[in-house]
Amino acid sequence: MNLATLLARAARVDPAAPALHVGRRLHSRYGEFDRRARALATSMLDAGLARGDRVALFMTNTPEFLEVVFGAWYAGLAVVPVNCKLHPREAAYIVDHGEARAVFVTPDVGHALMPLVPGLRRVEHVIDVRTPAFASMTESRAADIADRAPDDLAWLFYTSGTTGQPKGVMITHRNLLAMTLCYFSDVDAATREDAILYAAPMSHGAGMYAFAHVLAGARHVVPESGGFDPAEIVELSAHHRNVAMFAAPTMVKRLVDHVEATGADPSGVKTIVYGGGPMYAADIRRAMAVMGPRFVQIYGQGESPMTITALARRHLLDTSHPRHTERLASVGVAQSCVEVRVTDENGRSLPNGTPGEVVVRGDTVMKGYWRNAEATANTIRDGWLFTGDVGALDDDGFLTLMDRSKDMIISGGSNIYPREVEEVLLGHPAVAEVSVVGKPHADWGEEVVAFVVLREGARATGAELDRLCLDHIARFKRPKQYLFVAALPKNNYGKVLKTELRNRLVPPADPPA
């Protein structure tokens, strides 16, 4: 089983179908896409790379990203996607730890990596995809598909590393095929009439949805900007039509703000799949009110990419359901290829409605962590991936996430889940964003603190927010302090850095005497 067969099949069925675009411009059709990927495979093998070797991609969004991915798979190699927003030293760590023998770069980020390459253990080739050298690689003879086993490594993805050095997540061909099929069964019915637009980094979730759209023979659109620009997204969607895209919740909010402020027509957008962080009920209600029924939520991790649960379009739209409000705040039900449970600290299933650690089992779960047997054993137990997320299942199988287990606040012996408090505070019309964390307290262990970002021109006081909390949640859960800030610190994926917020609450140490 080799994922390159997805491209081979699409090119064989309809080689003249448009495949890769930059903005409005057609870059290549499926036959040419396939030919270039096969030629890259030959060039990589001719350069001395062998089956099972790893090829890193440190690239901004570009059609060549997909050509290199499929070219590497044709050659029987594994890819190491590196977020282009990382610092060059962070990227160098990933390339080195993953023992990549070749690195493909775009010049805008690759130039900063070059001085670090001599210190990397195994890198023998650095190829800039904007150079004649790369162009000549795409003119080699076409390679056949290398034979790969289902559990062979295909995608070595590095976690964000918020609690130390990032770990390499080993994703196999079987994992990616199961993930791809889940897209059709649980997320969206992609067809050759559709287009997928890459506004988020192709090294992560957005790029992983490319595989389903290759299988469907759909179009792939990289914005001219190479990233997320709301006006450009609306314009390209109007041109290409039937556009799907993956977006973090912060991106969804910016797009909704743009459409609402400008009156732009979002009808060219077919589906926005959101994930990668919490989308609060108030935000998704507003998004649907402004843009219509174009949303699907997914919950996954790098260790089970894009495929733990999904909140389908029909569930979001079923306003007549008696538990519609609760479902809006959930992340949906288990996707088709996995089982999901909520467990106690000993791995025993908990009753519905009881918070515990979310665990998942199925063909999407990673093979393990690269060169880290101890972390693998701690995370995968008896075939179950222990996610570190705290959630609860309802009687209908809908999963509601509270928080990461490390973000739970324990005050006076009681567990407080920040998301529950955040949902209430976002119900205030002046609040744009909020993040709730625990602050050390001598008597209570921790106390609740809310960092609040107000909408432009809006005003609110701590007393107002306190009254709102007292109207909706238990008194002990309400924040003891409201800190109004201009913005929340976020990582490259749009996730709020709660560790940084907690650090702001720790008083500076006294200078040495």
Give the 3-state DSSP-derived string for 237-271, with helices as H, strands as E and coil as C: HHHHCCEEEEECHHHHHHHHHHHHHHCCCCCCEEE
Which is higher by pLDDT, 509 or 271? 271
pLDDT band at 264; cut points 50, 70, 90: very high
Answer whether residue 70 shows pLDDT above 50: yes
Q: Which of 105, 112, 97 is nearest to 68 (CA)?
A: 105
Q: Can 4-393 and 408-504 be said to share one CATH topology?
A: no
CA distances (Å), 151 to each of 131, 183, 292, 361, in order? Answer: 35, 20, 41, 16
- Using one digit for the tens of pLDDT, what is the confidence trace for 168-204? 999 999 999 999 999 999 999 999 999 999 999 999 9
Answer whether residue 492 shows pLDDT above 70: no
- Using one digit for the tens of pLDDT, what is the confidence trace for 127-154? 999 999 999 999 999 999 999 999 999 9
CA–CA separation, 454 and 461 (whole Å): 10
Whether the CB-CB separation of 279 and 296 falls below 8 Å is answered with no
Domain locations in the chain as residue ranges: 4-393, 408-504
Answer whether residue 447 shows pLDDT above 80: yes
Coil/strand/helix, residue 291: helix
448: its two tokens: 């609740």
Query: Interior CA angle at 145 toward 141 and 209, to 5°?
Result: 110
Mind spelling out the 3-state secondary structure of 216-236? HCCEEEECCCCCCCHHHHHHH
pLDDT of residue 476: 82
pLDDT of residue 134: 98
CA–CA separation, 438 and 424 (whole Å): 17
Whether the CB-CB separation of 44 and 100 falls below 8 Å is answered with no
Order of all β-strands in the sheet with 445-454: 431-441, 445-454, 481-484
pLDDT of residue 163: 47
Least confident segment among 131-140, 429-438, 470-479: 470-479
- Using one digit for the tens of pLDDT, what is the confidence trace for 295-306? 999 999 999 999
Mean pLDDT of the chain: 93
Answer whether residue 405 shows pLDDT above 70: no
Residue for token digits 């077919």? 270
Top CATH class, 408-504 = alpha beta
Residue for token digits 């998004």? 287
Whether the CB-CB separation of 224 and 235 falls below 8 Å is answered with no
Amino acid at 137: M
Coil/strand/helix, residue 91: helix
Top CATH class, 4-393 = alpha beta
CA–CA separation, 391 and 39 (whole Å): 47
- Using one digit for the tens of pLDDT, what is the confidence trace for 19-63? 999 999 999 999 999 999 999 999 999 999 999 999 999 999 999
- Using one digit for the tens of pLDDT, what is the confidence trace for 91-135? 999 999 999 999 999 999 999 999 999 999 999 999 999 999 999
Answer whether residue 510 shows pLDDT above 60: no
Answer whether residue 513 shows pLDDT above 60: no
pLDDT of residue 127: 98
Question: Strand pairing of 269-274 and 243-247?
Answer: parallel
pLDDT of residue 420: 81
pLDDT of residue 164: 60
pLDDT of residue 413: 62
pLDDT of residue 66: 98
pLDDT band at 205; cut points 50, 70, 90: very high
Coil/strand/helix, residue 350: coil
Confirm whether pTM is higher than 0.95.
no
Order of all β-strands in the sheet with 102-105: 125-128, 102-105, 54-58, 78-82, 153-158, 168-172, 368-369
